[in-house]
């Protein structure tokens, strides 16, 4: 006979959380007071998982995505029945997807992931059967202040995509940039921001109509996404303006020697410049039937490119720098991307 579980339902299994919950939940204090079992470190969490009947295990990824694979395998071996949910920051999303897709003895290392920070009730809803959700919320005694509700709504908007292009929207791009810059300050990461718009886009809209204009934006989005690496963030931030956040964890790229470290640092902005040049070449080859006979090789862009920490230490500084470089590229004749810190320096001239 099943006993009532800690959430007042009919399932006797519990929920286990591993890691620093303050990095994953707005209401971390309430989470610690709830009936969830919380362990600060992975070894204790694995030991607890082996001794308990669990409904789900939430794993806070914060800063540990590079070494989670073996830990998740151990969790699976300790408790094969529980669902494993990764609690990831925005910049860890690509790692979370990779871990969800990775297999251990025919079973995925993780079942799903959530972008954090989130409200505890949202996490419960993702792991608890529908019939037990109301009881879970009530038993967890999670009180939600208006300010927290506002933050939750804002974050949910951040996680949405641009409807026309399928890229990330402005809010997401801005928040991701803020998070990855803060992470880069604490850890060994390099970040480069590219912002660009379509040259003469108003002309295409006025002459060929908004349907053609929309097709140009969709095509640019497809090509930019194709040129970028899986973990780079590509977004449409308004009108015909796009932004790309290139980032790398230098701990992964460097083998540990000073020479390797300098080589890894040199990848920014070298690698983003290479990707931007490739994108420009793809634009030159693309065909746009809605523009008629003129519709091949007519698209060009103007933009600015800057890197953290060389050109700015905050998201505001970095966006301000690339915005000024983009405007200068426009004034100088369009069809060019300027490097911040190097006036009149088009990336086309960079070897």
CATH number of the CATH domain containing 298: 3.30.70.270
**CA–CA dist 182, 185 (Å, integer):** 5
Residue 230 lies in a domain: yes
Last residue of a domain, one of 108, 133, 157: 157
Q: Which of 109, 142, 157 is at the close of a domain?
A: 157
User: Domain span at residue 61?
Assistant: 14-157
Q: pTM for this one?
A: 0.71
pLDDT score for 144: 45
Query: For the CA atoms of 120, 121, 122, 124, what is the dihedral angle to 10 degrees?
Result: 90
First-to-last C-alpha distance (Å) of the chain? 72
Return d(Cα 100, Cα 86) in angstroms, integer. Answer: 8
Same domain, 260 and 332: yes
**Based on the domain organization, do 200 and 92 belong to the same domain?**
no
Q: What backbone torsions phi and psi does residue 248 show, to the nearest 5 degrees?
A: -145, 145
Task: Kindly state whether residues 142 and 211 are assigned to the same domain.
Answer: no
DSSP H/E element including 346: none
Return d(Cα 246, Cα 322) in angstroms, integer. Answer: 14
Q: Determine whether 81 is exposed, middle or buried from the number of CB atoms within 10 Å of its CB (0-12, 13-18, 19+).
A: exposed
Judge whether 44 lies within some domain: yes
Q: How many domains, the chain?
A: 2
CA distance 230 to 225: 8
The answer on 263 and 125 residing in a single domain is no
Q: Quick check: is 7 in a domain?
A: no
In-domain check, residue 3: no
Do 324 and 244 belong to one domain? yes
Task: Give the pLDDT of the chain (351 residues) as one tens digit per residue.
Answer: 233 334 444 445 689 999 999 988 988 887 766 668 899 999 999 999 999 888 899 999 987 766 788 999 999 999 988 999 999 988 888 888 888 988 767 778 899 999 888 888 888 877 765 545 455 445 444 444 555 555 555 666 556 789 899 999 998 999 899 999 998 988 878 999 999 999 999 999 998 899 999 999 999 999 999 999 988 999 999 999 999 999 987 766 544 445 444 444 455 688 899 999 999 999 888 888 877 766 676 789 999 999 999 999 999 999 999 999 999 999 999 999 998 876 557 787 776
Q: Other CB atoms closer than 10 Å to residue 339's CB: what's the count?
A: 21
My answer on whether 166 and 303 are in the same domain is: yes
Residues 86 and 166 both lie in one domain: no
Which pLDDT value is given to residue 9?
44
pLDDT of residue 75: 92
Residue 8 counted as domain residue: no
What pLDDT is attached to residue 261?
A: 47
Residues 35, 141 within the same domain: yes
Q: How far apart are CA 229 and CA 241, in angstroms?
A: 20
67: CATH: 3.40.50.2300
Q: Where are the beta strands (DSSP E) in 81-208?
A: 83-88, 103-104, 107-108, 112-115, 189-198
Cβ neighbour number for residue 351 with a 10 Å cutoff: 4
**Residue 266 is assigned to a structural domain of this protein:** yes
């Amino acid at each position: 006979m099943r006993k009532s579980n800690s959430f007042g339902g009919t399932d006797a299994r519990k929920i286990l959380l591993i890691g620093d919950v303050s990095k994953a939940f707005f209401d971390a204090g309430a989470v610690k007071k709830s009936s969830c079992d919380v362990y600060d470190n992975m070894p204790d969490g694995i030991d607890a998982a082996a001794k308990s009947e669990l409904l789900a295990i939430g794993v806070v990824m914060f800063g540990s995505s590079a070494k989670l694979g073996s830990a998740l395998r151990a969790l699976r071996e300790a408790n094969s029945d529980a669902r494993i949910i990764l609690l990831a920051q925005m910049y860890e999303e690509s790692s979370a997807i990779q871990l969800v897709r990775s297999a251990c003895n025919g079973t995925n290392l993780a079942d799903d992931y959530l972008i954090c920070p989130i409200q505890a009730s949202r996490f419960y809803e993702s792991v608890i059967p529908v019939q037990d959700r109301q009881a879970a919320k009530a038993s967890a005694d999670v009180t939600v202040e208006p300010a927290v509700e506002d933050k939750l709504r804002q974050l949910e908007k951040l996680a949405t995509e641009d409807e026309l292009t399928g890229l990330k929207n402005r809010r997401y791009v801005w928040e991701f940039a803020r998070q990855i810059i803060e992470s880069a300050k604490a850890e060994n990461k390099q970040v480069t921001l590219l912002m660009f718009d379509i040259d003469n886009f108003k002309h295409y809209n006025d002459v060929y109509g908004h349907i053609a204009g929309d097709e140009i934006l969709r095509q640019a989005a497809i090509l930019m996404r194709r040129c970028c690496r899986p973990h780079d963030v590509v977004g449409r931030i308004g009108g015909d303006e796009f932004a790309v956040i290139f980032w790398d964890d230098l701990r992964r790229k460097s083998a540990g020697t000073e020479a390797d470290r300098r080589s890894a640092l040199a990848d920014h902005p070298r690698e983003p410049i290479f990707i931007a040049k490739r994108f420009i070449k793809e634009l030159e080859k693309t065909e746009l039937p809605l523009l008629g006979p003129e519709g091949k090789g007519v698209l060009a862009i103007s933009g600015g490119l800057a890197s953290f920490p060389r050109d700015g230490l905050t998201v505001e500084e970095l966006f301000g720098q690339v915005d000024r470089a983009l405007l200068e590229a426009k004034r100088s004749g369009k069809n060019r991307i300027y490097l911040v810190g190097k006036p009149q320096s088009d990336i086309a001239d960079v070897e």
